[in-house]
Each structure stands twice: as structure tokens, then as C-alpha cells.
Copies of this chain bind each other. A is one copy, B any other.
């Protein structure tokens, strides 16, 4: 298998696995970026490239398309359809970000003002729809019905997870099982579809396709749990959004679910007030963080994330040994390193 390979691996100490993956896949990624720019254009509606450029060029890490490229390349795929699928996956991701920002009434994304703030909610909704339809065109071009089936199911799981999150927010009865379902919907479904379609397009044997799905699923879950932990402790600089967003939006994430399950009557009254009733005052976020600390809720969430990262690494054992496999394994560790 060609690629920049060993040079990059030698720099292990200097670069994050994600950057080494990007270096390995540099040629493919350049082609994907070109495709993304071509396909997000619209002859008729100049508002579309304005909004999408704001988001697509904002320096997102392109993690999801890299997963598709890595999966396909790792299994020896030599065609061009993996580029279309990588762009598909990034378009779906960008579309969900646009709609999420409307739903969450967010102000910042990737360290910049959100599209709904710069333009309006209308543009975010409609340009999101446009990107969904563009992603759909791209995947249809591959002519691979199994790939279409996987991505259609992933889209439904994503939308279902988002609605579930909406109804579970503000509801203290939300438990770890419901949380996992939400996380699979909002994050892991696209990760696992991204890796799975890479294997399908490479015509890999069933057990390898399954292993790729399992890797993406576990990586996505670990990734989202870490994101939820950072919301109670990262800085705006490191995560590009404000600490406490989930708290303000009254979302039941893993740390809070853990603390609510162990709450004293007084703490429970606090959670009822700030999450269920939404009556939040100055100092409440700090108090929430103190309660989380008291019950080891952050540690519990971190342990859970590390266990999922472990499952991601284990799934890789079913795949042929290669440099890309090693990079994907290191990526799983790296995702949880942000909170360890």
C-alpha cells in the first residue's frame, strides 16, 4: 500500500494521531476537499455557498471523511468512490450541525459565530436541507445499493436520536441506557456508517465490515462522552464552545445522569430546579460542577469513555494488520486523552 507511511509514524511523539492520519491520507483528502467545494456550490442560490463556506472552511477536522478513506484504503480499495462517500459523510455532518444550531439556539461553533446568528434560522434550515440532498446525490452516484441502505439507516438513526434528545432534555428520569441511544443517534451512527461504507466499497469480507462498524460505533460513543465531559470542564479555547452549554440547555449527559442517580434530597431539589424547571441563577453551574465532583461523576464518565475506546481498539483486531490500522487504534486512545 502506498502513502507517506513510515515518515509520519516516526513522528509519533510530535503529532496527534489525527494529524498523522491526515498526512497519510493527504492526497485523498485534497480530492475530497475539492469535491466538497464543487458540490456545495449552487448556480442559482448564492446564499448557499456563503453559508456552507462559513462552516465547511471553518477548519473542522474532517474526522468523519478520514474514517471513510482510512477504512477503504486499509482494505485495499483502489477506486474513486471512497472520495464521494467521504464527501457524503462530511455533508451529512455539516447539515446536522446547521440544524443543531437552530435547535440548540447556539451562538458559537468551532470558535466562530454560528450560521443562524450570522444569517438567520431560515438559512440554516434550508441550507442544511440542501446539503442533505447534495449528500444524497453523491452517494447515489456510487451506484452501490448496500452503501445507500447503510447511509439511509444512519440518517434515520441520527434524526431519531436528535428528537429523542429533545424530549429527554429536562427529564431527570433519563438513564444511561437512553443516553447511550441518544449518543448513538447524534454521533456514533455517522461514525459507524463512515467506517462501514469504506469496507463495503472495498468489497471486504463480512466479518471485516462488521469490525469496521463496531470500531466506528465505539469510537463515536467515546468521542461524544468526552465532548460531554468537556462541557463541564473544558475551556472555550480548547473546545471552541462555551463550558456549560449543555447545563444551560438542560441536557441530561452522562456526568449529570450519574450524579442525579446518587443525589441527596437537597441535591435532587437542585437538579429539579435547574434542569427540570430551568430556573438557573448565577453560581448554579459552579454548584453543579461541585456536585459532579463529589459523586465522582466526571471520573465515571471518563472510565466509560475509556472502555468504549478499548472496544474500538479491540474491533480492529479483526482487520488485517497495517499502518492505517495502527493509526486508527491510536486515534481511539487520542480521543479520550483530552480528558485523562
Q: Which residues of A contact B (CB under 8 A)?
A: 42, 44-48, 96, 99, 102-103, 121-123, 125-127, 129-130, 132-134, 136-137, 140, 143, 145, 148-149, 152-153, 155-156, 158-164, 166-167, 181
Report how far A42 CA is from B126 CA in the complex, Å: 24
A125–B164 alpha-carbon span in the complex (Å): 13
Closest to A129 in B: B159
Residues of B within 8 A of A133 (CB): 152, 155-156, 158-159
Contact present for A159 and B102 (CB under 8 Å): no
What's the minimum C-beta distance from A92 to chain B, rounded to whole angstroms?
A: 10
Q: Are A130 and B152 in contact (CB under 8 A)?
A: no
Q: Tell me whether A163 and B45 are in contact in the complex, defined as CB-CB below 8 angstroms, given that A143-B145, A148-B140, A158-B133 are known contacts.
A: yes
* A155 nearest CB across to chain B (Å): 4
Question: Could you list some 18 contacts between A and B, CB below 8 A?
Answer: A46-B167, A47-B166, A47-B167, A99-B125, A103-B121, A123-B163, A126-B159, A126-B162, A129-B132, A129-B162, A132-B132, A133-B152, A133-B155, A133-B156, A136-B152, A137-B152, A137-B156, A148-B148
User: How long is the Cα–Cα vector from A160 to B129 in the complex, in angstroms?
Assistant: 9
Interface pair A164/B132, CB less than 8 Å apart: no
Number of copies: 2
The closest CB in chain B to the CB of A147 belongs to B140
Query: Would A123 and B155 be within 8 Å (CB), given that A45-B160, A160-B130 are in contact?
Result: no
Are A99 and B129 within 8 A (Cβ)? yes
Chain B residue at minimum C-beta to C-beta distance from A47:
B167
Q: Measured between alpha carbons, how far is A314 from B198 in the docked complex, in Å? A: 47
For residue A99, which residue of chain B has the nearest CB? B125
Q: Please indicate the chain B residues that have their CB under 8 angstroms from the CB of A132 in the complex.
A: 129, 132, 155, 159
Tell me the dominant secondary structure on chain A's binding face: helix
State in angstroms the CA–CA spacing of A102 and B102 once bound together: 10
17 further interface pairs, Cβ-Cβ under 8 Å (given A44-B181, A48-B160): A44-B161, A47-B163, A102-B121, A102-B125, A103-B122, A103-B125, A123-B166, A125-B125, A126-B159, A127-B159, A127-B163, A129-B158, A130-B160, A133-B152, A133-B155, A137-B153, A137-B156
A48-B164 Cα distance, complex, nearest whole Å: 9
| CB closest chain-B residue, reference A42 | B160
Q: Report Cα–Cα, A45/B123, bound state, in Å.
A: 26
Contacts of A149 in B (CB 8 A): 140
Complex formed: what's the CA distance from A122 to B125 in Å?
10
Q: Which residues of B contact A103 (CB under 8 A)?
A: 121-122, 125-126
A138, chain B: closest CB distance, angstroms: 9
Complex Cα spacing A47 to B166, Å? 9
Residues on B with C-beta less than 8 A from A127 are 159, 163
Q: B residues within 8 A CB of A99? A: 125-126, 129
- What chain B residues lie within 8 Å of A148 (beta carbons)? 140, 148
Contacts of A160 in B (CB 8 A): 42, 44-45, 48, 130
Q: A130-B159, A156-B130, A156-B134 are known contacts. Are A44 and B164 too (CB-CB below 8 A)?
A: yes
